[in-house]
Amino acid sequence: MTYTSRNDLSDHIRKQASALLQARLSDALDLEAQAKQAHWNVKGPHFLQLHELFDRVHDEIEQFVDLLAERITALGHIADGRVTTTASATTLYGYPLEAQGGAAHCQALAASLGAFGKLVRAAIDQADSIGDADTADLFTQLSRETDKQLWFVEAHLQAH
Ligand SMILES: [Fe+2]
């Protein structure tokens, strides 16, 4: 449903942009949970550093979730953050339950950050073509920050 609004974007644009935002919201909610999974379960010689890094990644993604959801509601639509919706709609890789060491968790989280970054980067142009420059700007912000988080995680996999 679309709430009526004084927002000057057309109902059609608001509906299309909200669907795009909702797709990435489900991915972001999955990614947020994956970062906590890594935070809780990592073991090994760099435990404390990675434990803290994964929590910082989680906190960044939590902000993405809020930005995405509140853009949907600002456009007059319902943000669906239900766990059941997230589970059925996410397009990210499933997180490996058996991951133990730092490298395994970094690889799993880097794979998901990379996949999410690709989707969000594509969403910039998709939002532009819909005619919603503000949503495109939001995706640009998320894309840039996802690249940074991916760098932090991947740095632990490089120069070994
Ligand atoms: Fe914690």
pLDDT at 78: 97
Residue 67 phi, psi dihedral angles, 5° rounding: -65, -45
Q: What tens-digit pLDDT sequence spans the chain (160 residues)? A: 788 889 999 999 999 999 999 999 999 999 999 999 999 999 998 999 999 999 999 999 999 999 999 999 999 999 999 999 999 999 998 999 999 899 999 999 999 999 999 999 999 999 999 999 999 999 999 999 999 999 999 999 987 5
Tell me the CA–centroid distance for residue 37 and ligand 1, in Å: 10
Go through the domains of the chain in sequence order and give each one's CATH number. 34-157 (1.20.1260.10)
Sign of torsion over alpha carbons 72, 150, 105, 119: positive
pLDDT at 160: 57
Q: Do the Cβ atoms of 61 and 31 come closer than 8 Å?
A: yes
Tell me the CA–centroid distance for residue 55 and ligand 1, in Å: 7
Q: Do the Cβ atoms of 53 and 152 come closer than 8 Å?
A: yes
Tell me the CA–centroid distance for residue 39 and ligand 1, in Å: 7
Tell me the CA–centroid distance for residue 67 and ligand 1, in Å: 23
pLDDT at 84: 98
The radius of gyration computed from the CA coordinates of the chain, to the nearest angstrom, equals 17
Sign of torsion over alpha carbons 72, 73, 78, 81: positive
pLDDT at 38: 98
Q: What count of Cα atoms within 13 Å lies in the side-chain half-sphere of residue 96?
A: 14
